[in-house]
Amino acid sequence: MTLKDRDKKHLWHPLTQHKLHPDTIAITKAKGCVLTDENGNEYIDAIASWYTCMYGHCNDNITSKVSAQMQQLDQVVFSGFTHKPAIELSEALIKILPQNQNKIFFSDNGSTSVEIGIKMALQYHFNKGEKRNTLIAFEDGFHGDTFGAMSVSGLSVYNGPFEDFFLDVKRIPTPNSENLEAILNTLKSIVETNKVAGFVYEPLVQGAAAMKMHNPDGLNAILKFCKAHNIITVADEVMTGFGKTGKHFASLHIETNPDIICLSKALTGGLLPMAITSCSQNIYDAFYSDDISKGLFHGHTYSANPLACTAALASIELLLSADIQNNIQRVIASHEVFNQHIKNHPKVKATRQTGVIFALDLNTEMARYGNLRDKLFKFFMDNGVFLRPLGNTIYIQAPYVITKKQLEKVYKTIEDALKII
C-alpha cells in the first residue's frame, strides 16, 4: 500500500474537508528548495512550506548544530531552569529586533505567540488597575486558529460554530492613500465608546488575506494614534519576520515601534516548531511586582526547547550572513523583472510585491477552496512547482536560496497556468 493510501485510515489533516479532498501527496524527502514525493516526483517549494524553510530544507548549517545540541541537552523545564541556547537566542534576537524590544517570551506556534501578545496587552492594563476589554484589528487579518487569535482574525472563513465565544474586537480597514482620515475618525469613535486594550495587526503584508499589502505611512499614523491612547500595539510578524520584506522585520520599515512582536514560522528555519512573543521593557515592567498574581501565568511544556532554540540561533546566523542577504536582494530584483513582464497580461488583474513576497491576482473570480483553485493547484504540481493559490491570488514566497533556474521555472509555470484559466 502507498503512504497516500495508508494516510486515509487514521489521519485527519488541517484545513481539510476530507470528503471533498480525500487525496494527499506523501513527501519522503526535502532538500534545498526541492520536495520529493513517494513516487519520486520533485516539486520546487515556491512557498517555503508556509514560509518557514527560508534557508532551504534540511540546511546543513542548521541540522548539524541541532544534531550536536541533541547530544548535550534535549529538553528541560523552562520555569526555574534556563540554558545557553535560550540565552544566546535572546541576545541574538534583541540585537536585530526594533530597538525598543527587550524581553523574549517563548511558546511553540504562531497562534500561541499571538495569544500571549493579547494576554500581555489585556493584563498590562489590568495590572495597572484599568479594565480594558476591547481589541482593535484589521479587516481580513489572520492571526491563527486558537480562540484569541481567531477572534482578532477578520478573515474568518469557517468560524461559524465559534463566533459566540470570541473576544470583543472592533475592525478597521488597512490603510491606503485615500482612507487614512476615515480610519483615524473610526478609531476616535471606537475609543470614545470602548475601553481599548490593544491593536493586533500584520505589518505591511497580510499573508492569509492573499498577500494583501498596505502602506507603511498609514500604518505609522495608526500606531501613533494607539500610542497616544495607551493602546498596546501587537505586531504579528509570524509571516513577515526574518527578512521577508527585505528588512529583518516588517516593523523596521515603520517609524513607530510596536510594544509587542509575535514571531514563529521562519524563526527556526522550518526545522522545529517554536514561537516567540517579544516586548518592550515598559510592558515587562507592568508585570514585575512583589504581587505574585501580577506575573504572566502562561506557559507551555516545550517553552524554549533547547533544540528549537539552537535551530533558531543557526537560522539567525544565516539570515545575517552576506550570502543570504545577497540572495534576498537577488530574489527581490528577480521578482521585479517578472512583475514588469507579467503585470499587463490580459489574465492578470493586479500584481504586488513587498521584499521577496510576490503576488498576482487573476482576472477571474474564484472561491478560496473552489474547483478552479484546485485545477490551478493541480497544474502547478503536475509541472513540478508547489504553489498554493489563495482564491484568485497566486503568490510566491520561496526560500531565499532558490536558484535562478528554479525561479525561472516557477515564473514560467505561472505564466503557462494563465493559459488554462
**Residue of 238, 356, 359, 398 that binds ligand PLP (CB under 6 A):** 238
Beta bridge partners of 54: none
Tell me which residues in 194-213 interact with ligand PLP (CB under 6 A). 202, 207
- Using CB under 6 A as the binding rule, whether residue 270 contacts ligand PLP is answered as no
**Residue 236 in marked binding region:** yes
CB of 139 to ligand PLP, least distance (A): 15
Contact call for residues 135 and 119 (beta carbons, < 8 A): no
| Euclidean distance between CA atoms 30 and 18, whole angstroms | 25
**C-beta atoms surrounding 107 within 10 Å:** 25
Count the residues of the shown chain that bind ligand PLP, applying the rule CB under 6 A.
13
Query: Look-up: residue for cell 523552562?
Result: 78
Give the nearer residue to ligand PLP in terms of CB position, either 83 or 352. 352
Residues 6+ apart with CB under 8 A from 121: 135, 197, 198, 200, 232, 234, 259, 260
- Using CB under 6 A as the binding rule, whether residue 142 contacts ligand PLP is answered as yes
- Using CB under 6 A as the binding rule, whether residue 109 contacts ligand PLP is answered as yes
- Using CB under 6 A as the binding rule, whether residue 45 contacts ligand PLP is answered as no
- Amino acid sitting at position 159: N
**C-beta atoms surrounding 256 within 10 Å:** 17
Task: For residue 273, give the nearest of 107, 124, 119 by alpha carbon.
Answer: 107
**Residue of 85, 110, 241, 269 that binds ligand PLP (CB under 6 A):** 110
CB of 386 to ligand PLP, least distance (A): 17
- Using CB under 6 A as the binding rule, whether residue 152 contacts ligand PLP is answered as no
Distance of CA 171 to the CA centre of its chain: 20
Give the nearer residue to ligand PLP in terms of CB position, either 211 or 232. 211
41-49, 109-117, 252-260, 388-396 -> range binding ligand PLP (CB under 6 A): 109-117
CB of 207 to ligand PLP, least distance (A): 4
**Residue 299 in marked binding region:** yes
Give the nearer residue to ligand PLP in terms of CB position, either 219 or 417. 219
Give the nearer residue to ligand PLP in terms of CB position, either 149 or 222. 149
Query: Look-up: residue for cell 515592567?
Result: 285
**Residue 341 in marked binding region:** no
**Residue of 114, 187, 271, 313 that binds ligand PLP (CB under 6 A):** 114
Burial of residue 355, with CB atoms counted within 10 A of its CB: 0-12 exposed, 13-18 middle, 19 or more buried? buried
| Euclidean distance between CA atoms 413 and 416, whole angstroms | 5
**Residue 368 in marked binding region:** no
- Using CB under 6 A as the binding rule, whether residue 316 contacts ligand PLP is answered as no
Burial 266-302 (b: 16+ CB within 10 A, else e): bbbbbbbbbbbbbbbeebeebbeeeeeeeebeeeeeb
Give the nearer residue to ligand PLP in terms of CB position, either 98 or 207. 207
Binding mask 280-309 for ligand PLP (x = CB under 6 A): ------------------------------
Contact call for residues 159 and 198 (beta carbons, < 8 A): no
Binding site for ligand PLP (CB under 6 A): 109-111, 114, 142-144, 202, 207, 236, 238-239, 264
Q: Which residues are annotated as a binding site for substrate?
A: 50, 265, 299, 388
